[in-house]
Amino acid sequence: MRANTVVMIILAGIFGVLAVVLANIWLANQRSALAQSNGVQASTVVVAAMPLKFGDTLSAEKLREIAWPAGAVPAGSFKTVKDALAGTGARQALQTISVNEPVLPSKITGPGQRATLSAVLDEGMKAVSIRVNDVLGVAGFVFPGDRVDVLLSRTVRDNEGADKSFVDVLLQSVKVLAVDQVADATKDNPTVVKAVTVEVSTKDAQKLTLAAGAGQLSLALRQAAGSKGETNERVTLADLTGDTPDDVAKRQAELDRQAAEEAARKQADEKIDGLAKAVERVGSQIDQMSKVKPAPVVAAAPQAQPVKEVIKYVQPEPPKLATIGVFRGVKLESYEVPRQD
């Protein structure tokens, strides 16, 4: 390789490094000038140095301070780790806090307090537990922090004595606080639980308590971002088949007509059976009377002319046919049937 080529390569490298250094200096000066022109002043905010979950105790190793624009500091945030840990007793996390997420007073307990559900509840809200199983609890896929709709299924008896089943949406977008006795929102393994604790208002807590004894409660998991209420209506058995109210009324009228005909047929059969038994009793009495011989009657002869009178008893021949009357509705029909001796 010739000497000129080597010299050119060395000079190119020197000029390249010099260009990078000058560009970095220029960019730094521009950032400094922009910051000074906007009047931005640096501040510090305490953030999580590692992921924190519900119940984790705060310590200096789990927190750190980072630079933060003074005009964008979150309200209530701590400037130093010492401020965050100040007070008598340790603090615990009330919810999941990610790495570099600001630690706010609403996310941790007070000094010496424990992480309990009462500390998580918003002002004016109550915690109510609902008994569920592997089906009613959405197969264990409900976790703390999710939002669910509470459904009420029940069966009532109408004025005609028929049972009618239906399902109503009792509450919408209810926040789940805990499943069984676990309130950790970082739990991600589906588990079949026996109870789910939700956050509701006082009136909704009364509704849930009353509904637990009136029917069966089920949970419907909502989309994570879907917290708005929806228009809903009662679902009955008729909705499962797609019948219209007129179809349901016609089917019910047909069932009532068939029931009335069956009752009338049964009543007519009972009347016929009663008449047959009555005819049988009459025939039996006639047979008994035909077998009894009446005592001969002797007429008194005149005293003037005594006459000997002989009376011969002739047994009447029993009738061969018996007449039976049958009511069909309001009409009486007569039938002659052979009499059995």
Domain count, the chain: 3
- 132 and 189 in a common domain: yes
pLDDT of residue 204: 92
- 50 and 86 in a common domain: yes
* Structure tokens belonging to residue 329: 């509705």
Q: Please check whether residue 192 lies inside any domain of the structure.
A: yes
**3-state per-residue secondary structure call for the chain:** CCHHHHHHHHHHHHHHHHHHHHHHHHHHHHHHHHHHHHCCCEEEEEEECCCECCCCECCHHHEEEEEEEHHHCCCCCCCCHHHHCCCCCCCEECCCECCCCECCHHHECCCCCCCCHHHHCCCCCEEEEEECCCCCCHHHCCCCCCEEEEEEEEEEECCCCCEEEEEEEEEEEEEEEEECCECCCCCCCCCCCCEEEEEECHHHHHHHHHHHHHCEEEEEECCCCCCCCCCCCCEEHHHHHCCCHHHHHHHHHHHHHHHHHHHHHHHHHHHHHHHHHHHHHHHHHHHHHHHCCCCCCCCCCCCCCCCCCCCCCCCCCCCCEEEEEEEECCEEEEEEEECCC
Query: What is the number of other CB atoms lying within 10 angstroms of the CB of residue 4?
Result: 8
C-alpha to C-alpha distance for 170 and 148, rounded to whole angstroms? 11
C-alpha to C-alpha distance for 330 and 83, rounded to whole angstroms? 99
pLDDT of residue 213: 87
pLDDT of residue 34: 60
- Of 198, 217, 241, which residue constitutes the final position of a domain? 241
CATH number, residue 87: 3.90.1210.10
Does the predicted model carry a pTM greater than 0.75?
Answer: no
Task: Provide the greatest CA pair distance for the chain.
Answer: 198
C-alpha to C-alpha distance for 247 and 253, rounded to whole angstroms? 10
pLDDT along the chain (341 residues), means of 10: 74 84 82 58 84 86 87 86 86 86 87 75 85 73 85 82 83 86 65 83 91 87 72 76 68 84 86 82 76 59 59 67 71 73 60
- 203 and 230 in a common domain: yes
- Of 70, 96, 115, which residue constitutes the final position of a domain? 115
- 268 and 226 in a common domain: no
pLDDT of residue 244: 63
* Structure tokens belonging to residue 249: 């009324």
By CB neighbour count within 10 A (0-12 exposed, 13-18 middle, 19+ buried), where does 286 fall? middle
- 222 and 134 in a common domain: yes
- 232 and 212 in a common domain: yes
C-alpha to C-alpha distance for 271 and 20, rounded to whole angstroms? 116
pLDDT of residue 92: 87
Using left for φ > 0, alpha for ψ between -120 and 50, and beta otherwise, residue 299 falls in beta
Q: Please check whether residue 71 lies inside any domain of the structure.
A: yes
- 273 and 287 in a common domain: yes
Residue 315 lies in domain = 246-292+310-338
- 176 and 130 in a common domain: yes
